[in-house]
Structure 1
Amino acid sequence: MAYDENNVFAKVLRGEIPCHKIYEDNDTLAFLDIMPRSDGHALVITKEKARDLYDISPAGLAKLMAVVQTLAPKIKQAMGADGVLIAQFNGAAAGQTVFHLHVHIIPRKEGESLRPEGARMEDQAKLAAVSEKIRAKLGTG
């Protein structure tokens, strides 16, 4: 299946849909999930037009994962988490709902359950405050 230029993340990349950005470089963009499974749940997306893991260039994948590796401990620290869940889905049967390659960074605290997927839209002011907190840890605040 061909890459859909109108998927929600392509629109975010074009600036047609706003996001709570925490990091951006020439190859990737990281922002908060608007329906987070935990506070600080971030998405890292490639700027390459790739539907999934099978569709991206090896160089693009390396750049994407390097950003995930850099951001995950900073998000963990900013959110006072005990651990971080890294998730990436390929295909609808695997749970992928947006067909633009992305990686979830989900901070986890001992004893706290994840919120159900897509349970509710987070308050925009709260997302803004969380993104500011994470950017401060990254030194980009």
Structure 2
Amino acid sequence: MTDKNCIFCKILAGDIPSAVVYEDEEFKIILDVGPAAKGHMLILPKEHYSDILTMPEELVAKAFILAKKMAAKMESVLGCDGINVVQNNHEAAGQTVFHFHIHLIPRMKHDKIGVTWKPGTLSDADRKDLLEKFSR
């Protein structure tokens, strides 16, 4: 299944050129054209799924196993100090291309890229409420 209006489907079809780092029958990994850091990659399933919620669990598992393998290779090849593995779902969470994908972003100490947030607080009442809701 593909979406003719999806930029990632167009990349996967070869209609838009990309720098392919890895490819198998189910996934293609490309260098991000707007990288947060040198070596920033995207893991794309070859089938179109808008987000993690629409993707079969077996394929989600394979995507994250592939992310782990590529993160290890990224660390070895680039000598980075860390790696962000980022997967956003829906606009409110920062998803801008609605084709499931995983970002692998190599990080160096003091690189000032970001990808952090200020920790909030969790009240006892909120904790109790959330535990009750998720236990149903």
TM > 0.5: yes
Q: Secondary structure at the match of 2:35?
A: coil
Detail structure 1 runs of 4+ shifted over 6 Å in the superposition.
Answer: none
Amino acid at match of 1:66: I
Structure 2: gaps of 5 or more residues? 116-136
Q: Deviations over 1:18-67 (max 9, x none)?
A: 11100000111101000100010000011122000001001111111111
* Matched residue, 2:75: 76
Kindly indicate whether structure 1 or structure 2 has the higher relative contact order, using CA contacts under 8 Å at least 6 residues apart: 1
RMSD (Å) for aligned C-alpha atoms: 1.6
Deviates more, 1:50-59 or 1:3-12: 3-12
Amino acid at match of 1:99: F
Amino acid at match of 1:111: H
Tell me by how many angstroms 1:115 deviates: 7.7
CA contact (8 A) 1:85 1:105 kept: yes
Tell me how many residue pairs correspond in the alignment.
114
* Matched residue, 2:62: 63
Structure 1: gaps of 5 or more residues? 117-141
Structural mapping, 1:15-94, within 5 Å: 15-94=14-93
Amino acid at match of 2:8: F
Amino acid at match of 1:28: F
Task: Indicate the structure (1 or 2) with the bigger Cα radius of gyration.
Answer: 2
Tell me by how many angstroms 1:16 deviates: 0.3
Identity %: 37
Q: Distance in 1 between matches of 2:73 and 2:81?
A: 12
* Matched residue, 1:127: none
